[in-house]
Amino acid sequence: DTEVTQTPKHLVMGMTNKKSLKCEQHMGHRAMYWYKQKAKKPPELMFVYSYEKLSINESVPSRFSPECPNSSLLNLHLHALQPEDSALYLCASSQDPRGGAGNEQFFGPGTRLTVL
């Protein structure tokens, strides 16, 4: 299984809602990532988990809250978002984080989020 899955595929939420995005991989990868991608732009890194521990938080507002319950799952909890947070949210994973620069990241299909 060389796939990263993400649910839901699409999400529409109001600014007062609480929702969660889910990401799953069964490749035994020990690094997992959340990216935000706006239209016609490259992905921007938000968070990195290495061995289920948060290792990088790229100054992301606290209305985004990541969680890594186990080595296969990564969640992104959303609360009190703003319309400018509307974007494609991509999850990725890669092998042992200590394994070297050659380890590619495998991306999921993304969740298209719209905040009204």
Partner 1 sequence: GNSVTQMEGPVTLSEEAFLTINCTYTATGYPSLFWYVQYPGEGLQLLLKATKADDKGSNKGFEATYRKETTSFHLEKGSVQVSDSAVYFCALTLYSGAGSYQLTFGKGTKLSVIP
Binding site for partner 1 (CB under 8 A): 4, 6, 31, 40-43, 45, 48, 50-51, 53, 55-56, 90, 92, 94, 97-98, 100-110
Residue among 78 and 91 whose Cβ is closer to partner 1 = 91
Q: Which residues contact 35 (CB under 8 A, 6 or more apart)?
A: 43, 44, 45, 46, 89, 90, 91, 92
Residue among 3 and 82 whose Cβ is closer to partner 1 = 3
Residue among 90 and 115 whose Cβ is closer to partner 1 = 90
CB 115 within 8 A of CB 15: yes
Q: What minimum distance in Å lies between the beta carbon of 80 and partner 1?
A: 26
Q: What minimum distance in Å lies between the beta carbon of 48 and partner 1?
A: 5
Q: Which residues contact 37 (CB under 8 A, 6 or more apart)?
A: 43, 44, 87, 88, 89, 90, 110
Residue among 27 and 80 whose Cβ is closer to partner 1 = 27
